[in-house]
Amino acid sequence: MSAQHVITAKGDRVDIECQNCKSGMDVSATSALGAAMIENWPKLHKCPKAAKK
């Protein structure tokens, strides 16, 4: 995947952001759902800018 994702830890929260479109989400780093989203976000995210290439 061509999209670059930046993961930033903020205490017990983690911010995931796509550098192409600046879309992202803030998830809990301590929950199972949050951990799954951190792992799968780059695959799940459909970047509108990456699709135009």
Residue 12's pLDDT is 92
Residue whose structure tokens are 């803030």: 26
Residue 43's pLDDT is 85
- Dig out the tokens for 26 from the structure: 């803030």
Identify each DSSP E strand in the chain by its residue range. Answer: 5-10, 13-18, 24-28
Q: Which residues of 12-40 are buried (b: 16+ CB within 10 A; e: fewer)?
A: eebebbbebeebbeebeeeeeebeebbee
Q: Would you give per-residue pLDDT tens digits along the chain (53 residues)?
A: 445 889 899 899 999 999 989 888 899 988 998 888 888 888 888 888 776 65
Report residue 33 CA to chain centroid gap. 13
Residue 52's pLDDT is 60
Residue 53's pLDDT is 52
